[in-house]
A = this chain, B = another copy of it.
Amino acid sequence: MKFEIIQVGTIFSPYKKKEDCPIQGVAAPEGTGHVEVFPEFEEALKTIETFSHIYLFYIFDQAGEVKLSRQTFLSDDIHGVFASRHPCRPNSIGMSIVKLEKRIKNILHVSQIDVLDRTPLVDIKPYIPRFDFRENAGNGWTQQKKMQQKPPERE
C-alpha cells in the first residue's frame, strides 16, 4: 500500500551541506534555526508554545541511495537502517527533537537542530517526557560509540 504525504512547512538551519550537519542535535546545542509552518497550517500550532521541546518530522530530500543495511556515521559495522537513524531508508522520514525557543505566529524559532537547511517539514508533535521517557531503556549498539566527525565519503 502507498500513501501520499504533503509538505506543511520548511526547516531552515545553518547547515547548507549534508556534511555540515551534526550527527545528532543533542551534540550541537549551538545550532539554531527556524521552522516556517505554511500559513494555512498555523492554526495547528495553537498552544505549542507551552512545550519546551518538539519533534520535527521531515523528508530527507537530499538522501542518497537506499540500502537496507550499511555502515553508519557512528559505526564501521553494518547495521540495518531500522536499527539506525541513517537518512537512506525505505521511507525517507526523518525525526529530530529540537528546543522550542519561541513562536512568532507561524514561525518556530528552535535550537539543538541537526537538519539540513530548507528541508521539507511534514509533521510536528510535542515532546512529552511523561509519555516519552522510558526508564532503563538501553542505547543498544550505540552504547560504546563516541560522537565523532562524520567519516568522509560515507553517505
Contact = CB atoms under 8 A, between A and B. Distances in A.
Interface string A14-52: 000000000010100000000001000101111110111
Contact of A53 (B7, B120, B134): B134
Contact of A80 (B43, B128, B133): B43
Given A50-B140, A89-B44, A5 B2 contact: yes
Q: How many copies does the complex hold?
A: 2
Interface residues of A, number: 67
Q: Is the interface of A mostly helix, strand, loop or mixed?
A: mixed
Interface of A: 1-8, 24, 26, 37, 41, 43-48, 50-55, 57, 59, 68-69, 77-85, 89-93, 95, 97, 99, 120, 122-134, 136-143
